[in-house]
Structure 1
Amino acid sequence: MDKKKLQSPAVTVADVARHAHVSKSTAARVLGGYGVTSEKVRERVQASAKSLKYRANELARSMTTGKSKTIGVVVGDIENSFFGIAVRSITDVANASGFNVILTNSDENFDVEREAVNVLVGKQVDGLIIAPANRYQTAHLENLKSLNCAMVLFDREVPSLEVDTVVSDDFESASKATEQFIEAGHRRLAFVTETLESGMDENGELLIPTSSVGRRISGFLSACRAGGIPQEDSIIVLNADPDRGLSASISKVLDQADRPTAMLASDSHVALKIFKQAKRRDIDMPSDLSLIAFHNADWTEVTNPTITVIDQPVAEMGRWCAEQLIKRIEGVTEPPLRHVMKMQMIDRQSVETAK
Structure 2
Amino acid sequence: MRKTEPRIPTIREVAKLARVGLMTVSRVINNHPSVRPSTRKKVEAAIVQLGYRQNEAARLLKGQRAKMIGLIVPDLSDAFFASCAHTVQHIARAHGYMTLVVSSERDADLEFQQAELMASRKVSGLLIVTSTRRGDDRLRELQNTGLAIVAFDRPLPGSDADCVLVENRTGAEEATQHLISHGHKRIACVGYDEETYTIHERVLGYTHHMNAAGLKPNIALGLLTLDGIREWLTEVLASKNKPTAIFSLNHRTSIYLLQALAEQKLRIPQDMAIVGFDDFDLASIITPPLTTVAQSPVELARRSMGLLLERIQKTHDGIESSPAKILLPVKLMVRASCGPHEERPA
- State TM-score, norm by structure 2: 0.74
Q: Aligned to 2:333, which of 307, 326, 346? A: 346
Question: 2:250 aligned with 1:267, yes or no?
Answer: yes
Deviation at 1:334, TM superposition (A): 2.5
Give the match for residue 106 of structure 1: 104
Helix, strand or coil: the match of 1:301?
coil
Of stretches 219-228 and 158-167 in structure 1, the one that deviates more from structure 2 is 158-167
Find 1:289's aligned residue among 258, 266, 272. 272
Query: What SS does structure 2 have at the residue aligned with 1:136?
Result: coil
Match of 2:114 in 1: 116
Determine the structure 2 residue equivalent to 1:54. Answer: none
Q: Is the 8 A contact 1:157 1:212 kept in 2?
A: no
Q: Which residue of 2 aligns with 1:258?
A: 241
- Structure 1 residue aligned with 2:79, among 78, 81, 94? 81
Amino acid at match of 1:280: E
Q: Any conservation in 1 of the 2:229–2:260 contact (CA below 8 Å)?
A: no
Counterpart-to-counterpart distance in 2, 1:188 and 1:63: 55
Alignment-mate amino acid for residue 271 of structure 1: S
Shift of 1:221: 0.3
Sort the Cα spacing of 1:333 and 1:320 in 2 relative to 1 into closer, same or farther, 3 A: farther
Question: Residue 203 of structure 1 corresponds to which residue in structure 2?
Answer: none
Please tell me whether residue 298 in structure 1 is matched to residue 281 in structure 2.
Answer: yes
Equivalent residue of 2:274, what SS? strand
Q: Which runs of 5+ in 2 are unaligned?
A: 1-59
Letter in 1 for 2:92: A
Q: CA deviation at 1:124?
A: 2.2
Q: Which one of 142, 152, 155 corresponds to residue 153 of structure 2?
A: 155
Alignment of 1:187-226 (within 5 A): 187-195=185-193, 208-226=194-212
Q: CA deviation at 1:139?
A: 3.0
Aligned partners of 2:191 and 2:250 also within 8 Å: yes
Counterpart of 1:181?
A: 179
1:132 has 2:130 as partner:
yes
> Which one-letter code corresponds to 1:291 in the other structure?
I
Contact kept in structure 2, 1:158 and 1:211, CA below 8 Å: no
Alignment check: 8 A CA contact 1:109 1:133 kept: yes
- 1:257: Cα distance to partner? 4.6
Superposition pairs for residues 61-80 of structure 1, below 5 Å? Answer: 66-80=64-78
Tell me the CA shift for residue 121 of structure 1: 2.1
| 1:219 CA drift (Å) | 0.5
Deviation at 1:245, TM superposition (A): 5.0
Kindly provide the CA deviation profile for residues 156-182 of structure 1, in whole angstroms up to 9, marking residues without a partner as x.
014532111001111111111101111
CA 1:253/1:66 → structure 2, altered by over 3 Å: closer, same or farther?
farther
> Unpaired runs of 5+ in structure 1?
1-61, 196-207
Q: 1:325 to 1:246 in 2, by over 3 A?
A: farther
Amino acid in structure 2 at the alignment position of 1:229: L
Q: Hey, what's the Cα distance between the residues in 2 that align with 1:103 and 1:243?
A: 28
Q: Does the aligned pair in 2 maintain the 1:194–1:246 contact within 8 Å?
A: no
Whether the 8 Å contact between 2:192 and 2:223 is mirrored in structure 1 is no
Instruction: Check the 8 A contact 1:290/1:350 in 2, yes or no.
Output: yes
Give 1:236 deviation, angstroms: 1.5
Which one-letter code corresponds to 1:128 in the other structure? Answer: L
Question: Residues 279, 131 of structure 1: CA spacing in aligned structure 2 closer, same or farther, 3 A cutoff?
Answer: same
Counterpart CA distance in 1 for 2:144 and 2:235 is 46
Cα distance in 2 for partners of 1:86, 1:295 equals 14
Work out the number of aligned pairs and report it.
279
CA contact (8 A) 1:132 1:210 kept: no
- 8 A contact 2:291–2:335 mirrored in 1: yes
Number of the residue aligned with 2:94? 96
Q: For residues 251 and 145 of structure 1, what CA distance do their matches in structure 2 show?
A: 48
Percentage of matched positions with identical amino acids: 23
Q: In the alignment, does 2:334 pair up with 1:334?
A: no
Deviations 1:301-330 (A, max 9, x none): 221111001110221110111111111112
CA distance in 2, matches of 1:314, 1:171: 17
CA contact (8 A) 1:308 1:347 kept: yes
Q: Which residue pairs with 1:13 in the alignment? A: none
Residue type of the alignment partner of 1:134 = T
Q: How does 1:160-171 map to 2 (within 5 A)?
A: 160-171=158-169
- Return the TM-score normalized by structure 1: 0.73
CA–CA distance in structure 2, aligned partners of residues 176 and 119 of structure 1: 41
SS at match of 1:144: helix
Mapped partners of 1:296, 1:117: distance in 2: 30
In structure 2, relative to structure 1, the CA distance for the partners of 1:339 and 1:347 (3 Å cut) is same
User: 1:116-165 CA deviation, whole Å, 9 max, x = no partner?
Assistant: 22222232222111111133253332222232211111110145321110
Residues 110 and 137 in structure 1, CA contact (< 8 A), matched pair in contact too: no
Per-residue CA deviation, residues 192-214 of structure 1 (Å, 9 max, x unaligned), is 2221xxxxxxxxxxxx3211211
Q: The residue matched to 2:83 in structure 1 has which SS?
A: helix
Whole-angstrom CA distance in 2 between matches of 1:142 and 1:247: 41
1:336 & 1:274 partners in 2: Cα distance? Answer: 39
1:286–1:349 contact (8 Å) kept in structure 2: yes
Q: For residue 283 of structure 2, give the secondary structure of its aligned residue in structure 1.
A: helix
Say if 2:61 and 2:120, in contact at 8 Å, map to a contact too: no
Aligned partners of 2:61, 2:202: CA distance in 1, in Å? 45
